[in-house]
Amino acid sequence: MPTPLTDHFSLEELTKVGPHAGIDNTPPDGVAASLLKVAEKCEQARAIWAVPVEISYGYRCPALNLAVGGSETSAHMVGLAADMIPEGLDLRAAWDALRQDPTFMVDVDQLIIERGCVHVGLPVEAHGFVPRHELRTDATVDGVRTYPLFGIWAPPQE
């Protein structure tokens, strides 16, 4: 039976290993609070998009992060990121909808269109738990996947 974190997201969904069977992706003690924050952020995205959302990856242990080619400093490794796939939505339109919502963006460290999903990362210790509000897209340059900076989100001016 799944362990619910929020109405629509479970611990199992936020810790699945995808095609990397055999990797033990059990989060260490202390990651539960981070996974709850991420699940709540995914709930916000789901409400904005008004469609079901699949999570391709949430928490990733070091072995899983290496297997998927994640960054050595990935927020996934501390349970503060999720890769979301909104059912039936164009990823650019989904990304745009989130970046234009001030309530959603206020505590986002990174919002990235990548690998067929929308990645949301929350602030991590390495940056003092302060959101950088980075907006990134993915690109392949000379056969290497990169995530160029699209811009820095700023709250709307009143």
Are β-strands 81-86 and 117-121 bridged in parallel, bridged antiparallel, or unpaired? antiparallel
* 138 lies in some domain: yes
* 122 lies in some domain: yes
* 4 lies in some domain: no
CATH number assigned to the domain comprising residue 46: 3.30.1380.10
The model's pTM is: 0.95
Cα–Cα distance measured from residue 85 to residue 77, given in angstroms and rounded to the nearest whole number: 19
* 7 lies in some domain: no
Residue range of the domain that includes 77: 13-152
Summarised one tens digit per residue, pLDDT across range 55-91 is 999 999 999 999 999 999 999 999 999 999 999 999 9
pLDDT at residue 137 is higher than 80: yes
* 2 lies in some domain: no
* 8 lies in some domain: no
Average pLDDT of the chain to the nearest whole number: 95
* 81 lies in some domain: yes
Summarised one tens digit per residue, pLDDT across range 81-113 is 999 999 999 999 999 999 999 999 999 999 999
Q: How many domains does the chain have?
A: 1
Residue 76 · residue 65 · CB < 8 Å? yes
Neighbours of 129 (CB within 10 A): 12
* 23 lies in some domain: yes
